[in-house]
A and B are shown apart, each in its own frame.
Chain A
């Protein structure tokens, strides 16, 4: 083995890493001390770095507070620039939910949030956002489906009761929204509220019949009613649809078949079986 190899082996000796790191810090402190001794103020020394750190902390805090505000505030609706933040946070909250109980609760909260947002939108923007309205229905359905998967009967019963009571509130709110929507649509068509409240005059009534008029004579247009306004405005149709679905959740035990239509709502069907399973479990010895 050559001397060169031996010397190379000896030159592998190194200082301890931690001690080197401490010395690095010590050198920096010495440099700071030299600066202070030279008459520079502490603020000019740490000024730029402190300012950058302060701004970074402030920015991070602002983002945090903004996110919290966006998540909780009903003012942040679909017409607000923070709405995507709100939706992202809601998606994250849903993603971390693990049990059916948690999922049902979250969907129920979301349905209630969407309901409040719809009301805010019509108050502030004089509009109806169809997507928000549809989200009420879909969240209610998801809540019912999740509740169906709960194995604990007490939890299941509590969630079911919450779904029913929540749907009552939603129905009240949606009725208000529908009324406001009809009013706005009527004003847009220059139709007064008094005219809307008149009963419908149709062909065949005693007031309208004139004997022997030619068939080709002028026809009487039906009077504008709230129903006709709803039928003519797509957004109001969506509200009406969701309202009727939510009513089914509300009074599912005594479902009134409106216009002879069979129950088609998934939520209503599932809620029925949910209520049955709850009553069965409470009645069982």
Chain B
């Protein structure tokens, strides 16, 4: 199905407005892999353009629609492909917060928060990423994840609570070894596997 030039102009406007948010979402979802994040975000918008004729503004806001596509695309990416986890992706998560702070040009305590966040369960991480990086509100997150708004609010509350606890204990000398093992375990999910 085809879209008119006017529709394309509208789509171009949405691209300008939401691309950075989608990019941030894919960036943190892929463990801060810039190239992969950009490729995935690009593919999301290319796919969205193909399907733009099916989009109905009165049924759903563009933001919800594009993040639904983005989420599904990332899941498909890790499911369909046998992901070879590059040692660099692993080491990225093992670097000290100071290095992360320098690479991302953020403050040290923000880097600590990021490290702590990456230790949260996947579901909590995703909701926090949608909330704070993709800048979706609770209602929009609920639509994207097909959950209720109350559910989302509860998960966010628990996630913040756990995050604060982790920040309090993160990277203390007594916990270095354990933290490292946990971070490695965090990478090995049912969707990905190491190559031998």
- Enumerate chain A interface residues (CB-CB to B < 8 A): 1, 3, 5-16, 19-20, 23-24, 26-28, 30-31, 34-35, 38, 40
Contacts and interface: CB of A to CB of B under 8 A. Distances in A.
B42 A11 contact: no
A8 B133 CA distance: 8
Nearest to B37: A15
Contacts of A19: 38
Interface string B40-61: 0110011001100000000000
A262 to B, nearest CB: 79
A37 B27 CA distance: 33
Interface in B61-111: 104, 106-107, 109-110
Interface of B: 2-3, 8, 11-12, 15, 19-20, 23-24, 27-28, 38, 41-42, 45-46, 49-50, 104, 106-107, 109-110, 113-114, 128, 132-133, 135, 160, 163-164
21 contacts: A3-B163, A6-B107, A6-B114, A7-B113, A9-B106, A9-B107, A10-B106, A10-B114, A10-B132, A11-B132, A11-B133, A11-B135, A12-B106, A13-B27, A15-B19, A23-B19, A24-B15, A26-B46, A27-B11, A27-B46, A27-B49
User: 3 tightest A-B contacts by CB?
Assistant: A7-B132, A38-B2, A6-B113
A30 B19 contact: no
A20 B106 contact: no
Nearest to A38: B2
A28 to B, nearest CB: 8
B42 A13 contact: no
A7 B111 CA distance: 10
B24 A23 contact: no
B83 to A, nearest CB: 22
Given A7-B132, A10-B106, A10-B132, 5 more contacts: A1-B107, A6-B113, A14-B24, A27-B11, A40-B2
Contacts of B50: 30, 34
